[in-house]
Structure 1
């Protein structure tokens, strides 16, 4: 059973991005995957901004990446790029932190003007960190995600369909990679 690290790069506790990831995590668990959640905002800000590689939070985050077979990276888009919080963590990880891993990038934002942030801002960084396979990412408009009073998330049908297709592609790529590794 592959292990998936689900990383939220949102600085907000009431984040649509984080809730979207948790929704997708539940779907992956229902399909037999083991999912480990990492909300970067819960890591030490001092360690992130001070580049304290030895801080226990950074050591743990690095270990989580090392143990994962696949990684889902979710981020809100700010000023046409992924969040600074996500950037801070990626900068502290080893250069090969994604080596051999299947990665699914996801982004949320308020305008379709930011739809290319995945391909032009995030994908090059993920590639430089050695990702073996970066599945076609998905951008979701904030207005397609409704936060309910009970804390759950409702996703508009067209967005849900595209997200589930991306998740299925990610899961399939991850399963193929895991089988290939087991044969080697």
Structure 2
């Protein structure tokens, strides 16, 4: 199956965006995919902001993108656009870091007024970075994500169903782009 990089562009340690991504990561793992996680907020701020391309953590993040067949990118929406933290990471990656990759964009926000941030702010950047296929993403309104005192995520039923559909569409696109090897008969 495919190697997937799951990227959270949220600056918050208690992010609903990151929790949502971890939920979807488990769904993709259950389908047999290998999922690696990159929380952009864990990268060192100085080297990230100074675009120190040779810094070991920036090199590690760049390598994670290079090794992935598919990328899930999640971001909170602020001021009708994806997070500045995610923008900073995308700026330090090579121009064609997404070349040949299938990408699933996801966003969370307080109001459906920001739903177009995926198509008008994030999608053009992902496409310009060479993504082979940016599948239809999904915007999740914050009220549809509840976190209990133990940190468990509950997703509103309609939203959960929609997220399963977009995640499965992403997985099918990966399967088409990177089909499982066919066993060769011996003898």
| TM-score (structure 1 length as normaliser) | 0.97
The 10-residue stretch of structure 1 (11-20 or 48-57) with the greater mean CA deviation from structure 2: 48-57
Shift of 1:149: 1.3
The reply on whether 1:28 has 2:28 as its aligned counterpart is yes
CA distance in 1, matches of 2:27, 2:84: 28
CA distance in 2, matches of 1:150, 1:141: 21
- In the other structure, the counterpart of 1:114 is 114
Unpaired runs of 5+ residues, structure 2, are 183-187
After the TM superposition, which parts of structure 1 deviate over 2 Å for at least 4 consecutive aligned residues?
179-182
C-alpha spacing 1:181/1:102, structure 2 compared with 1 (3 Å): farther
Shift of 1:30: 0.8
The reply on whether 1:49 has 2:45 as its aligned counterpart is no
CA distance in 1, matches of 2:37, 2:15: 14
The alignment covers a number of residue pairs equal to 182
- In the other structure, the counterpart of 2:16 is 16
- In the other structure, the counterpart of 1:66 is 66
The Cα offsets for residues 36-90 of structure 1, whole Å up to 9 and x where unpaired, read as: 0000000000011111101111000000000000000000000000000000000
Q: Secondary structure at the match of 1:5?
A: strand
CA distance in 1, matches of 2:112, 2:54: 39
Bigger-Rg structure (1/2): 2
CA distance in 2, matches of 1:74, 1:181: 30
Shift of 1:152: 1.2
Q: Secondary structure at the match of 2:179?
A: helix
CA distance in 2, matches of 1:166, 1:98: 19
CA distance in 1, matches of 2:32, 2:51: 36
The reply on whether 1:143 has 2:143 as its aligned counterpart is yes
CA distance in 2, matches of 1:168, 1:116: 22
Shift of 1:179: 2.2
The Cα offsets for residues 65-120 of structure 1, whole Å up to 9 and x where unpaired, read as: 00000000000000000000000000000011000000000000001110000000
